[in-house]
Structure formats: structure tokens, C-alpha cells
Structure 1
Amino acid sequence: MSLAEPLLDLDDIQAHVLRGFRQDHHLVLGWRLRDAAPDTAARQLLAAVEGRVSSARSRSPGCAVALSPRVFRVLGHDDMATLDEAYAVGMARRTYLRDPPSTQWTVGAPGREIDILVILAGEDATRLAEAAAPLRSLTGADLVHEQEAHRLPGHVEHFGFRDGISQPMLRGVVDELGTPLVPRRPMPPMPDHREYAAPGDVLVWPGQFLFGLPRQSETSPTRPAPPRRVPALARNGSLLVYRKLDQDVPAFLADTARMAAQLGADPADIRAQLVGRHPDGRPLVRPPSATHAEHNHFGYDTAFPPVPDGVRGADPDPDGLRCPLAAHIRKVNPRDQETDKGPPSANLTFAILRRGITYGPPGPATAERGLLFMCYQTDITQQFELLAQRWANNPERPRQGLDNGIDLLIGRTRPGTERRARLLQGEVTTLIDYIHPRGGAYLFTPSLSALRTLSR
């Protein structure tokens, strides 16, 4: 560690933010406060879950809780309700995400908005349902959302690609001895002058994800920016984006097969180009012999050197000759490339912590299946929304000056408008959406001390 890193209070930070839940089964419950005595109902519900919530130090079964701005308002904390512009406005009113109208949502539709979200996790789905039973009997709030989710074999999503490979690693220490949260291994200086915990595991200052802590600087990847001034209740908390995304597997398979036939290519190759990785997680910029340790050790503009333990270097791909500029992983994580938002040093300020999990049965048959997309940040506009809208939906971003199409996985156009992307063999177009947003919410995940304050 080249600079002193902040002490992280593992007993105060929710585990789902800092580490995520590693259990295979999740159960997500959402309540809307009734108009009569909402403050009493909010305190009752928070008191019922507060003792269950897992801290980042805890190894107990997972439980997390997140709150809408309305909860803070009815409990007399208006300053928390306006903590973030997007959070205050709400997902349903952020129409430029190009989601379907909120009246068509199955999660968070008008009159069924989520005020309190609880995420339970465990290794046994039956026991998880039993653990949730006492919460169902609470009065003063309506249970408006319930969703079971589970990890698929191999930790893939429903299109068959391994998920959650590239994640930022938090800087910070966990005790007075200076023990880092994330173990570090010696590595030579990288070409973009960032610091890494391991090959591909880039270190990010924790204020990008937790309020009250040093943030990532736009000009120096290794030197922090000062924490934002926020209400005391916000410290060690984080903003949660929660979205239910249905995946149309038959449409994805059929449409990419059509594209392959049009271009004279292999359908599997076309799907990999849309993602930017092969199903096993190997990036397109790496050869077939790449090891798991090499799956994140690469850049787009600069060559990455070999590092200890046999991890080979990687050649750059600035012009998208191996990984298309419209590939999903390149749209939402430009790594060491300059973007419309500035130099590569600023890219880490847009990072998010993803905590998604799949729902529904595997296989190509028609059924409700998809991803519960969850991510944490301290600025929804400049983190999640920038990636999902400004970059994924724009054919000339994040890299300016080149029209390479949109991210065909998550990018959206107006209904009835053709979507297009430039792949290695040529341009492809489609009118078909493979992912259908079904709604969600912008929420705040408080610290454990804030939860105790709110519930009592």
C-alpha cells in the first residue's frame, strides 16, 4: 500500500455491500408502507430485521436491508431522502433509461413501490422460506414483492456466460495493524499506473461505494479524493440499484444464429463478441490457452506485462480488432482507454460493485428467468446510470469519434427502433431485445448503527 488506507468498520458495514452473499439461494422481499401511520410500521419492520442483518465481519447466513427515501422522510430524516438526486427521484421517473413505462412493471409499479427491501441468503431454499415466515405476519406494510433466486451451476447467467468476473477491489484496512481488506501480492508497476491486489484485481478507494470514506480521484488512480459531506446516518452506507431483468434465451439464441448466418460466422463466436468474453470467462483479447488467473489481466490501449506466478502478459487491442468496441464488457468497463468523460485515470470513478443473482430454471425453453441485478455505489447518476445509459446506449461512447453501435445485451433504443453493433465480421442489426426490464427500485443500504437508530 503506497498511501495510508482508511480503517473499515466491518462491524458496521452490511456484508452484502462489502463482500456479497456467497450462498446459492436468495429470497428477496419488498414492502410498501401503508399511508396510515407509516412511521410506526417502518420502525416495526426495521426492528424485526435489524438483529438479522449480517455485518461484513459476520459469517452467519446472509441478510441485508435497504430503504426508500420515503422511509427516511416518515422517520424525520429528510436530509437522507435527498442524499442523491437519482435516489430522491426514483427509478420509475428516470425515463431516459428507456425502460418500459412503470405502469407495466412487475416490480415497483405505481402503488406497489418498494419502501423496505430485505435480501435473505442461505444454502437451503426451504430453510430460507422458513426464516422469512415471521416477517410475513408484520402489520402496517404490504408485501408487494417476493422473488426467489439461485445460482446456476458454474456461476453462469442464463445466456450461458460466466458472470461476476471483473469486480473492483476495495482499498482499506480491517485492524489497527494495517491488515488490508483484500490480500495483496507483489506485482510490477502496471502501464496505467494503477495498483492491483492480484492480476486484474484493480484497487479502488472505498468512498466510491461507501459514504464517509475517501473516494477515487479523477486524476490519480492511487491518490484518494476527500469524502463527500453527508448526513451522519449515511456513513458506512451505500446506494443500491435493484432491477429485475428477464432474459429471453430462445430469442438470444435464434437471433445470434441469424446474425452468424448473415456474416458467415459461428453462432458461438457472435455471442462471444456481443459479450466480449467466451462462456468460460476468457476475454476475446486472450488466446485459448489463457488460464483463469489471466482472465482479467489485460488492457485495451496498453500492453500488460507478465507478473509473478506464471501470469503471462497481454497485448493491447485499441481499435477493437479482437474484442469489438460494442462488446458489453468494453462498453461498461473501458479499463485503460480514454472516454468521453476524460482520461483513463477517471474510469475507476464510474465503477460499481455488482451483487446480482439469477432466477428461474436453466435451459433454452420458454420460462420466466433472468437476473436480479443489484449494484452498490455512492452516486447512481455517475456510476450505474452512466454505464447503463450514457455508455451502453450510445454508439459513439465511451470511446468518442467512432460509431460502433450500442451494447446489444443491455443497450436499449426506443420501441420499434433498430439496434445495431459493429462486430469483427461486419455490422449486425436487430429489432429484438434479449433482456426485458421488469422494474425495480433505487434504495439506500444503511450501516448497522444507522439501522439501530432508525428502528428505535
Structure 2
Amino acid sequence: MTLETDDIQGLLIRGYGRLDGACYVPMQFTEARRTQQWLHALLPLITPASQSPEDQAVHLALTAEGFRQLGIPAEAVATFSRQFKEGMTEAHRQFVLGDVAQNAPTHWQWGGPGREPHAVLMLFARDQAALEALLAEQKTQWEAAGIVALSRLDTHKLPNFREHFGFNDSISQPIIRGLSKAEETPAWNTLAPGEFILGYPNQYDLFPDTPHVALAADPDGVLPDVPPETPPRPPAKDLGRNGSYLVFRQMSQDVPAFWQYLKAHSQEPGATPEAAAIGLGAKMVGRWPSGAPLTKTPDQDDPALAQDNDFLYWNDDFHGLKCPGGAHIRRSNPRDWLLTERSAQDSQEMVQKHRLLRRGRTYGPPLAPSMDPLDLMQAAPDGQERGIHFICFVSDIVRQFEFVQNAWIRFHKFGGAYDDSDPLVGTHYQEEGVVTDSFTVPARPFRRRYKQLPQFTHMQGGAYFFLPGLRALRYLATFPLR
């Protein structure tokens, strides 16, 4: 099937790397009619995937409560996924995601009790000055509609594609089949569009469930019909086509704590304590600061491999002697390696059904402007918040995001470990006999064990959103309120 790029919001297709300025505005609606008028005026600015903008891009996503606030019939809201309707802060889900103790929603800056958003407006511009102008214009519009901004979430682009711990980021991204102009290789990293965009076949060669409205609820025929390939249901209008579920999690990063721990505890080979610290950091990440993967260069960084993503684990590093099984990139994307009794091919096929399409950005100033690990190690804490706005798209929240977060990132027994959560973004604690704050480096003759890892990242906000297609947005702006 050909992707309907004129109806898909562009953020699903590209991350706008040339648009340096960006900010996100989680907001609450107060009056449906005025919100509809605001949305109607916003529609011409929404950027479709068929365009590659040079100056600006605008996108909008809504929560389940946002759809309700707009007056969408309850029976239509009920057709969205259960996870989306319950929201990220539902009590059981807090445990599943690791949003407990200091990461609990009661401590969040937004998204927690009383500060749940109805939508998020996402703005991108060529530079900071252009972003400020776009934001000021939009603020005037949303305030006139009685919309309340819960926060202004700015971004800060770091040099050399680094994240705040000092490592090259966003290297491993799945390719959506049918979009790449180049030969779509490697095959293990090329996924069916239905994994991320509703209305197309997924890795199971099935159409994902789509939210829909009754025929009578779309008298003007703005929405397409629900296609016959989707699960059997009475004739209805497709509210989800060309849309996607958007997971947004704001996480702060404690950069001084990260490098202080590495320097104080590293037992990795290195001519100096600083080199040993960088070696341990690379083991935790699975890549060197340049981005070079440990599977290809286990003993030293190699900037020539900074963007290399064409590697697997089963044959080259099954036991994790190069890249530990608990390293962040190995947990978030095990590729062809899982401790099963089956084959590498089976592992690849299973992992493909749990991939995420990331579109996040960092925020806050760097602890050291150079982003060099040696400078980060020497820099004193400055009291400023910095971190990442983690944003990903999925067609199935529970099969993709929640599975990865719970079974691979958070779970302390992943890959045959005993008490190791993800060293970077896992939940680290010792409670009621359960230990999750260790990190294991396989080695011969003896493995190395690092214990009592601090919590290097902390949740500051989050929510589940839905990014509608452009026809769905037009429907939201024009359908008759009850």
C-alpha cells in the first residue's frame, strides 16, 4: 500500500533535523466551541508528511481526555486502545513503567494529578528567533480560545548529536517500508508501516485496530470509511487512519552523578581513571561516546564507526563479552539476540514486533559546552535541569512501548541477569528483597559487577497522546457538538 503522505502529520516521517528550534506545549482546553475554532485556524499550519519544510513545522496531538473535552461521542472515544484511554498515570501502569517512588506522577512538573494535558502543540523552526515568533503568534491564538498552557517545554540541540551524558544518540532508528529512497537494508531494520501508522499492515501482516465513529457522527463525510481489512465491525468512519499513538516522557539526567559514579567505581581497562570511566560508560550504553558500537570496536572508540548501525549479536557477541547483555542499546533493541532456545531469525522477528519510532530531543544547557566526557567529568554541578524529551510513535502502546519499558528496560532479570535494571534509564532500588541497582559486565575469567547505581534519570512529566491524520483533525474542528 502507498502511504498517504498528504494526510499524515510530518513528524511521523521525519525529525526535522534542519529545524534547530523546537518546543512543546502541553495544554488544557476549557470550552469546546472555542477550542474547535482555534483548531480550525490551526489546520493550515499543520505540516503534512509530503512536505520537507525549511522554515517551520507545526503538529498537534491529543489525549483521551482531550477528545472528550472536544465533545467526541463517548462510544467513539471507547474505540481507542485501553492504555490510551486509561492514561500513563493509571495506578497499575505506574508499576509497569517504573513510575514509582521519586519517579511517581505526584512529583511530575506536568502530566500528574491536576496537570493532565488535553493536547500537546509541537512547534519547530529554523532557529530560536523564528521559534519565538511562531510561539508568540500561537500563544495569542490559544489564549484567545481560553486554552491553558501547562508548561513550555523548550529543547536544546547539543553538538555532534550528543545527549547530555555525552554519547551520540538517535543512531538506531527503524526504516518504514516504502519510504526509503535508498535500498532498504538491512532487512532486520526495515519494518511494515502499520507498526507506526494506523491504516496499513503491520509485522503480523494485519491492520492494527483503529479508533472510529459511527456513520451518523460524520454527516459531511470528512473521514474515510473503515477499510474491510480491519477487524470485523459494523460500517463506521475511520478516525485513526494515518494517525499514531504518541508516547511523551520528560526525563531529567543527573550528569554529574553519572560521571562521578563511573570515575569512582570503574574496574574497566584504562590507562587513567578517566579512561576507565569512559570504558564503563561505553559498557553501560553499548556504544562509545562517538557512537561507535562495542560489537565492532570493543576496546577503543573509533569515530569512523560513529553512525554504524549494521550489526547483530547472535554470532558476533552472544555472551556479551564485547557489548554487555544489559547495556542500554542491547535492552532497547536486542536485534537477533534473546536468551531463547530458538534461532537468531526467530529472535529478530520477535524483536521487530516491539520496535519504537523515536522523535525526541534534548533540553537544558550542556554541563560542559564541548560535550567531551573528560570535560563532563571535571565540571561541577550547576543546579540546572537538563535531560531528554523522549517521544516515540507506535501503533500499539502495550505491545511496543509498554513491553519494551517493562520487559526489557525495567526488568531486573532481562537477558539472564539477576538484579540489573537498565543502567541509564532503569528503576534502581533495593526494596523488600528485590535488587535492581546492579550492572554486570561479562568477562573472562570472571565477570565484573557494579552495585548501588544511583538513579541517573528522573521522570518530570509525561502522557499518552494520539497524533491524528489531517482529515481527522479537520473532522475534530468541524463536527457538530452535542
Fold equivalence (TM over 0.5): yes
Which band: TM-score by shorter chain?
Answer: 0.7 to 0.9
Aligned partner of 1:237 among 232, 236, 243:
243
> 2:283 maps to which residue?
273
Structure 2 residue identity aligned to 1:453:
Y
* Counterparts of 2:471 and 2:350, CA distance in 1: 32
Verify the 8 A CA contact 1:200 1:296 in the aligned structure 2.
Answer: no
Offset at residue 26 of structure 1 (A): 0.6
Aligned partner of 1:149 among 145, 151, 155:
155
Offset at residue 380 of structure 1 (A): 1.2
Verify the 8 A CA contact 2:210 2:241 in the aligned structure 1.
Answer: no
* Counterparts of 1:228 and 1:209, CA distance in 2: 12
* Counterparts of 1:387 and 1:355, CA distance in 2: 17
Q: Within the alignment, does 1:161 sit opposite 2:161 as a pair? A: no
> 2:296 maps to which residue?
286
Does the C-alpha gap of structure 1 residues 56 and 415 become closer, same or farther in structure 2, counting only changes over 3 Å?
A: farther
> 1:328 maps to which residue?
328
Cα deviation per residue 1:99-156 (whole Å; 9 max; x = unaligned)?
2222211021222211110110112212212112233233332111211102111111
Aligned partner of 1:350 among 339, 349, 354:
354
> 1:436 maps to which residue?
458
Verify the 8 A CA contact 1:167 1:201 in the aligned structure 2.
Answer: no
The residue matched to 2:410 in structure 1 has which SS? coil
Q: Within the alignment, does 1:371 sit opposite 2:388 as a pair? A: yes
The residue matched to 1:150 in structure 2 has which SS? coil
Cα deviation per residue 1:16-72 (whole Å; 9 max; x = unaligned)?
1121222111111121123xxx32243133223222111111133111110011122
> 2:219 maps to which residue?
none
> 1:126 maps to which residue?
129
Structure 2 residue identity aligned to 1:357:
R
Give runs of aligned pairs for residues 282-431 of structure 1, distance below 5 A. Answer: 282-287=292-297, 291-292=304-305, 295-302=308-315, 316-338=316-338, 343-363=347-367, 364=379, 365-366=381-382, 367-397=384-414, 399=415, 401-403=416-418, 405-414=420-429, 419-424=437-442, 426-431=448-453
Structure 1 residue identity aligned to 2:312:
G
Does the C-alpha gap of structure 1 residues 319 and 336 become closer, same or farther in structure 2, counting only changes over 3 Å?
A: same
Aligned partner of 2:202 among 207, 211, 215:
215
Structure 2 residue identity aligned to 1:296:
N
Deviates more, 1:325-334 or 1:292-301: 292-301
Verify the 8 A CA contact 1:70 1:81 in the aligned structure 2.
Answer: no
Query: How many pairs were matched up?
Result: 408
Structure 2 residue identity aligned to 1:361:
P
Cα deviation per residue 1:221-272 (whole Å; 9 max; x = unaligned)?
xxx3344354201000000011111011100010111221598870000000
TM-score computed with the length of structure 2 as normaliser: 0.80
Does the C-alpha gap of structure 1 residues 98 and 395 become closer, same or farther in structure 2, counting only changes over 3 Å?
A: closer
> 1:194 maps to which residue?
none
* Counterparts of 1:55 and 1:359, CA distance in 2: 25
The residue matched to 2:49 in structure 1 has which SS? coil
Cα deviation per residue 1:328-362 (whole Å; 9 max; x = unaligned)?
00011000123579743111110010011011101
* Counterparts of 1:330 and 1:251, CA distance in 2: 23
TM-score computed with the length of structure 1 as normaliser: 0.84
Gaps of 5+ in 2: 213-237, 368-378
> 2:372 maps to which residue?
none
Q: Within the alignment, does 1:46 sit opposite 2:54 as a pair? A: no
After the TM superposition, which segments of 4 or more aligned residues of structure 1 sit over 4 Å from their partners? 261-265, 339-342, 414-418
Does the C-alpha gap of structure 1 residues 116 and 45 become closer, same or farther in structure 2, counting only changes over 3 Å?
A: farther
Deviates more, 1:268-277 or 1:251-260: 251-260
Give runs of aligned pairs for residues 25-174 of structure 1, distance below 5 A. Answer: 25-34=21-30, 38-60=31-53, 61-74=56-69, 75-78=71-74, 79-80=76-77, 82-93=79-90, 94-96=93-95, 97-99=97-99, 100-136=103-139, 137-172=143-178
